Amino acid sequence: MDEILRYTRIVCNADGGSEFVDDEMILTQQHIADGLPPMAACGLPSSAGTMYIRSAELDGAPHTAPRRQWVVMLRGVMEVQVTDGSRRQFGPGDLLIAEDTTGRGHVSVAVGKPPFEALFVPL
């Protein structure tokens, strides 16, 4: 049975600010490897250069994404604020696409007990 996987994108809006956009992908049951039962899976668009990051803190200064990329939260909680003042928290298992590579960007801060760990997967 198909499942819906929800994620959040940060995009640059028409006035040069940033905003959240909710999106989703369909997970389908797929045979991944011999000896394993079928698993819910879908491809994540990516080019190259996936990065694993670990940090005890995040800078709270506004910044744009260095490239369009998935942010796959592994450990800790990150709070992101976009230019309209909206804030969302992302924790282990949450997916986010950072697309605001121009404009005023967003603010990211670590919340709670460090370390913060994530995968950055370029689109």
Query: Is pLDDT of 23 > 90?
Result: yes
Residue 76, pLDDT score: 94
pLDDT at 59 over 80: no
Per-residue model confidence (pLDDT) at position 33: 67
CATH architecture for the domain at 3-122: Sandwich (2.60)
Q: What is the spatial order of strands in the sheet that 107-111 belongs to?
A: 87-90, 77-81, 107-111
Which residues have C-beta within 8 Å of that of residue 43, sequence separation ≥ 6? Answer: none
Domain ranges for the chain: 3-122
Distance from C-alpha of 30 to C-alpha of 17, rounded to nearest angstrom = 39
pLDDT single digits (tens) 67-108: 899 999 999 999 999 999 999 999 999 999 999 999 999 999
Q: For residue 87, which of 13, 5, 18 has the smallest C-alpha distance?
A: 18
Share of the chain above pLDDT 70, in %: 98
Please, what is the average pLDDT of the chain? 88
